Structure 1
Amino acid sequence: MSGHARLSLAAGAILVLALLCAGCISVNGGDASYRNRSVIVQITNTGEPANVTVQVTACRIQDLHQQVYAIAEAPATIRDGETDVAVPVDLEPGTYKLYIYVLSDGERKTAVISDIAV
């Protein structure tokens, strides 16, 4: 493949990536917290408002082992910018690893892992 063809291919790949990321939904892993018997997830949306489902799998960390403790989800409407979504889940005091998924139309839009202490 010639250098010109490789450059064109690279430019095309960058353009496709830019188009795919336009209007992206993301979750900042450092922004998950626990209060009022809910996991609070901060979602950033850089596109049109969207109806999503936020799913949280909470794994309890104890004695160097990780075990699924609870799985919960909540529907949410996210707007352009940041939206806090509360996912009701009853966690006992302890250390947890949270697997957070944002789903839209049955498709995973983003995922993040976050550690919290309750």
Structure 2
Amino acid sequence: METLLRKPGALPGATALEQARQTGRFTPIHDAWWSAARKAHGDKEGTKAPIEVLLLHRRIPHEHLVAGLAASLPVGALTADAVAWRPARPPNPMMMPPRLSPRNPLPWPR
């Protein structure tokens, strides 16, 4: 896959792409996102973006990437970073607001 980043024009006929389609790892939402990325960024840069998304599969679960693709497509966030951010990510407890209680009535100091 890293080779395809240097030569993105090889992606449309790549064996890896065909294998990903056959196994369901490259879904119709991937295709729609890729098409929108090419339209927005041109063929070369627009084809690099889905390659970067495919590389994200190494560290992010497939269903989260598909959710990220689906969420980023309608708003035009056509980068791998936007897909990786995805709303399907489990909440980070450090980013959650503190719970209010009688001992902690306000989430900020007075």
Please state which band the TM-score falls in when normalised by the shorter chain: under 0.3
* Larger helix fraction of residues: 2
* Larger strand fraction of residues: 1
TM-score by length of 2: 0.21
TM-score by length of 1: 0.20
Structure ranking higher on relative contact order (CA contacts 8 Å, 6+ apart):
1
